[in-house]
Amino acid sequence: MDMQRWKNSPEIKNAMIYLYGASGHGKVIADIVTAQGDTIGGFIDADTSKKVWQYNTYATLPSQFSNDDAIIISIGSNSIRKRLAAELAAYRFAKAIHPNAVVSSHSSVGVGTVIMAHVSVNADATVGTHCILNTNCSIDHDCVLENFVHISPNATLCGNVYVGEGIHVGAGAVIIQGKRIGKNVTIGAGAVVIRDVPDNAVVVGNPAKQIR
């Protein structure tokens, strides 16, 4: 995966970032984009009545969108981000990393991913594309997060955890070291995961138990 932040690519130095989804989640990403020194071109949303501060909201990518501009999908649903990423695959995707996040130089972060304030991503962690690492979550050494994952605020992944595509880890949940979590899993808020979890499961509680 590309280790460089989007804004450091010299060929797109003066480009803009458009946020796909005018929502509360989009507001947070807009703050991060401006904090990392990039420029927002506007929001894309089917409901153009949605307004985020001073930015315009467009139903589709506007005519001024250039080949050097980029998109971040600012929608919390993993499945919707996956669908839109496929529909928009012809365009460039950016990433947004809050300046107050601590991201190891020995980790990798895929395009389209957003990392909120006070997140920790430690050495040799691998974060896929179009992921959300929400406020104060912790991704420890050697963890692997596949694409379209959402780690909620204050969740903790201990070392060597593998997280499959499309997983949602609830707020304050803990996954102990070395566990493997299958794709499309939902882990409830506050859960403590001490065993591997199969694909498509829902687990809750301390210790976490599968309920579906």
Peptide bond into 207 cis (omega under 30): yes
CB-CB contact of 149 with 163 (8 Å): yes
State how far the Cα of 110 lies from the Cα of 188, in Å rounded to an integer.
25
| Run of H or E including 42 | strand 39-44
Residues with catalytic function: 141
Compute the distance between CA of residue 68 and CA of residue 13 in angstroms, rounded to an integer: 9
Nearest one of 76, 86, 82, 197 to 133, comparing CA atoms: 76
Which of 189, 26, 112, 92 shows the shortest CA–CA distance to 127? 112
User: Checking DSSP bridges between strand 174-175 and strand 57-58, what pairing results, if any?
Assistant: unpaired
Alpha-carbon distance 33 to 209, whole Å? 38
**Among candidate residues 77, 91, 119, 123, the one with its CA nearest the CA of residue 18:** 91
Number of other CB atoms surrounding residue 136 within 10 Å: 18
